[in-house]
Amino acid sequence: MTKNVGGIDRILRLIVGIALLVWGFVLSDPINWWGAIGIVPLFTALINWCPIYPLIGMNTNK
C-alpha cells in the first residue's frame, strides 16, 4: 500500500472527517449517518492512503 494522500489533502480530510463526526453527534437522530460517513475521510487521512485514487490515477503525495 503506497501512500497517495499528501499534506493539504490529508489536512482537509482530517477537518472534514472530524466535522462530520461532530455533526453526527450533535444531530443525534437515530437515522443520522453523517457521523459514520465521517469515519471514511478520517481513516484515509490517518493511513495516508485513499482506495479511490489508484482507480482514477491520482496521487497527492509528493
For each successive 10 residues of the chain (62 residues), what is the average pLDDT?
94 96 82 84 96 96 90
- Its pTM stands at 0.85
Separation of alpha carbons 53 and 44, rounded Å: 11
Please give the pLDDT value at position 31. Answer: 67
Please give the pLDDT value at position 32. Answer: 76
Among left, alpha and beta (phi > 0; psi -120 to 50; other), residue 35 is: alpha
